[in-house]
Structure 1
Amino acid sequence: MDIKTLVLALALGNLSLCAALFFFEYERKKSFAMSTWALAKQCQAIAWCLLYLRGVVPDFLSILLGNSLLFAGMALDAGALWQAAGKSGWRRRLLPALGVALALFALCYLFEVAPLLRSAGGSLIVAGFFLSGVAALSLQWREASMLRRFLAVAMGVLSLLIAARGVLAAFVPEFDAERMQLAGFGALYLMMLTNAFGYLLLSREKLGGELARLEVVDPATGVPNRRGFYQALAPWMALARRPGLPTALVVLNLDDFKRVNDSYGHPVGDAVLKSVVDVCRQQLRDSDLMGRLGGAEFAIQLPRTSLADALMVAERIRAAVAALPVKTEKAVLSLTASMGVTTIRAEDSTVALFKRADEALQAAKEAGRNRVMAAPESAALDL
């Protein structure tokens, strides 16, 4: 395969990718990262088309404009990876770097710098932008998925090959310049494939992770939902069979919460629940876990906490909720909470544990609400 064919393959590959991206998530608004990446591919597609037409169109279009669009596409490509990594400040760094790169290349073209030197500079610019994308992929390396690690390594190696090709072709005469150029374009072709499939797979991986998170997290409050809380509770149920400090469970219900939804609407109700969760968390340790069971009912897991200590924590939470003024557009609301407290026993199942905590909660409501009640410590106390 000669260089002209590789350039054509790069042009057609990016054009087909642009067409696919046009219909990707067509019914929904694309994320800013995906839109940036789509724009990057459009710039690269036009650039490779112009470079392929070198000799047919004027040089200032095929060389100057073509390479300028190519650099812009590479910079936006890296920017999309930084945006996907949650670093929205990439424009403050990459766009000035792109401006410098364009100015330097334009000066080299206008002053008719030797083609090999100009090509070496272009290779270093392209490799530099690709390495910026590699840096984005390498963030939080220990927590990164195997896919992200592979893409970082593969793109890093290909970037170094692209840079080495330009430098060796320009400054080492004994190297065959044509073969080095062919190797460089081959690396660019592999980079296009790796980047295209990699970015789409990363987007799919991120979406899958978000869907998995939503299965165990309550979207309104940000705490685990019933399923997520039960999953987190399971290991502590097993540990209850071993000697040591018990794990306590608090079931919390907001008193008369239905009137908030009925009077002010569900958006206000969700805001109130979020405020209550925030104030409860302020009374908890990092090791404690709060989850939403449904409606206005929550559960709090207190590892290595006796019943007496759990009652103290629950009382602090009750007082904090009662003292919390929740501001809405229409009024300032005051809420109270009733709580049932128990500890996990060796013979407990999840059903038995929550049944006992719910019975304590009902006792608190029947006693007048806005109070904390404990379940009996053991069955022997009921005899």
Structure 2
Amino acid sequence: MIDIRTFMLVLGIGNIGFALLMAGYARGAASHPAMRIWAGARLVQGAAHLVGWLQPELAWSALVATGNALLMIGTALELAAYCVFLALPRWAVALLPFTALALLALYGAQALRLDAVQGMVLMSMALGLFSLAMAWLLLRPGAHGSVLQRLIGVNNLVFAVAMAVRAWHGLGHTHASLLSAAGAHHATFIAGYILMIVNGFGFLLLCKEKDDARMVQLATIDSLTGLINRHAFFDRTDSARMLARRQCSPIALMMIDIDHFKRINDCFGHATGDEALVLFAATAGTALRDHDIMGRLGGEEFALVLPATDLEGAILAAERLRMTVAAAPLPTSAGAYAMTISVGVVVIDAHEHINAALARADHALYAAKTGGRNRVSVGVGQLKVVCG
């Protein structure tokens, strides 16, 4: 026979332990904001289980309602943590009224002096709905979550089913009680224990997973334009170059510079200069293929790699890009400004180092700028692509 009171003590201590663990993690790292809400939820749930563990010893009827209210509030906070983690808009509009209604029903049942079985059914239904909402948020088709997120969602779904079984058992067995040895109650506390372990560590890892992804993004993405930065561009270009070599496929490279960028900054201010960079990145994105690699190397200087593209195709792509940018006016304090670009184009040799190819493309870019700007120039020293 499973000692349900011992389960309640374990759940209480375990949840408080998780709360302290998560609070320590949130304090010592740039953690996700949802982590603090989750830690608060675990602390409240732990307190609720400890109150339930103490109730038979103290025999205070008020402890039952207090423990149930704490458990409901803690579960609502847990649902709030998921909403914040998933960046759901206006989640409080639905959660706060439902939580208030559930608490009102709980205290209304106490005022009406409903028996323990009816109170247990009410709590099971409320907690089951909360858990079902968590499962839906994590498993819904548009969530596109990780395997870890879906595992936590399944865990919440299992707990919701256990709560439904517990409520059904209470409705069908009028002499059931919270501390009875009925199988439904055993299943409930076992599911609660599994929920605590899986979701406790799972949510911590889920937040760390998102924090790590954010750090990777900060390390590889230019914050202003949204393009990859210089370091990431070199890494991806080298991988694309090696793939082109294995497939005996051509690969082209462009160096791109916004014409008279200093004049834009001097005449309209640096804020407009930033807007010019953002406009160029967004406009260029409409003229590129999904597998093209574009990065900001610094200032107004950009580079673009076109896999599976020969010189003729690269020249056509460069001209298309140049005309697309010229057709996208830049708003300034003095009206629309016709922004133009200069482009240097080369084809990377199969055995050529990326720095050498960039140097040739940079020479071609210089020729385009000295030749009058707003034009495309082909690099000299073009090498024949040799496979193998």
Q: Which amino acid aligns with 2:193?
A: Y
Q: Conserved in 2, the CA contact under 8 Å of 1:41 and 1:73?
A: yes
Q: Conserved in 2, the CA contact under 8 Å of 1:15 and 1:42?
A: yes
Cα distance change of structure 1 residues 52 and 172 upon mapping to structure 2, 3 Å threshold: closer
Q: Give the drift of 1:40.
A: 2.3
Q: Which amino acid aligns with 2:42?
A: K
Q: Which amino acid aligns with 2:293?
A: L
Q: 2:52 aligns to what?
A: 51
Q: Give the drift of 1:57.
A: 7.6
Q: Unmatched 5+ residue regions in structure 2?
A: none
Q: Conserved in 1, the CA contact under 8 Å of 2:330 and 2:338?
A: yes
How far apart are the structure 1 equivalents of 2:227 and 2:324? 19
Q: Conserved in 2, the CA contact under 8 Å of 1:155 and 1:194?
A: no
Q: Which amino acid aligns with 1:14?
A: N
Q: 1:165 aligns to what?
A: 166
Q: Give the drift of 1:122.
A: 1.3
Q: 2:16 aligns to what?
A: 15
Cα distance change of structure 1 residues 243 and 6 upon mapping to structure 2, 3 Å threshold: closer
Q: 1:115 aligns to what?
A: 116
Q: Which amino acid aligns with 1:356?
A: R
Q: Which amino acid aligns with 2:356?
A: A
How far apart are the structure 1 equivalents of 2:193 and 2:93? 29
Residue 126 of structure 1 aligns to a residue whose secondary structure is: helix
Q: TM-score, normalised by structure 1?
A: 0.82
How far apart are the structure 2 equivalents of 1:263 and 1:5? 74
Q: 1:178 aligns to what?
A: 181
How far apart are the structure 1 equivalents of 2:3 and 2:243? 67
Residue 80 of structure 1 aligns to a residue whose secondary structure is: helix
Q: 1:125 aligns to what?
A: 126
Q: 2:343 aligns to what?
A: 339
Q: 1:274 aligns to what?
A: 278
Question: What RMSD in Å do the two structures reach over aligned CA positions?
Answer: 3.6
Cα distance change of structure 1 residues 175 and 8 upon mapping to structure 2, 3 Å threshold: closer
Q: Which amino acid aligns with 1:338?
A: S
Q: 1:192 aligns to what?
A: 196
Residue 55 of structure 2 aligns to a residue whose secondary structure is: coil
Q: Give the drift of 1:278.
A: 0.9
Q: Percent identity?
A: 33
Q: Give the drift of 1:113.
A: 3.0
How far apart are the structure 1 equivalents of 2:176 and 2:96? 34
> Number of residues paired by the alignment?
379
How far apart are the structure 1 equivalents of 2:268 and 2:54? 65
Q: 1:76 aligns to what?
A: 77
Question: Are positions 1:62 and 2:66 aligned together?
Answer: no
How far apart are the structure 2 equivalents of 1:159 and 1:287? 43
Q: Which amino acid aligns with 2:123?
A: G
How far apart are the structure 1 equivalents of 2:302 and 2:349? 20
Q: 2:92 aligns to what?
A: 91
Q: Pick from 280, 301, 311: which aligns with 2:315?
A: 311
Q: 1:34 aligns to what?
A: 35
Q: Which amino acid aligns with 2:124?
A: S
Q: Give the drift of 1:243.
A: 7.9
Cα distance change of structure 1 residues 267 and 76 upon mapping to structure 2, 3 Å threshold: farther
Residue 130 of structure 2 aligns to a residue whose secondary structure is: helix
Q: Unmatched 5+ residue regions in structure 1?
A: none
How far apart are the structure 1 equivalents of 2:252 and 2:83? 43
Cα distance change of structure 1 residues 314 and 137 upon mapping to structure 2, 3 Å threshold: same
Question: Are positions 1:353 and 2:357 aligned together?
Answer: yes
How far apart are the structure 1 equivalents of 2:136 and 2:371? 60
Moved more, 181-190 or 364-373: 181-190
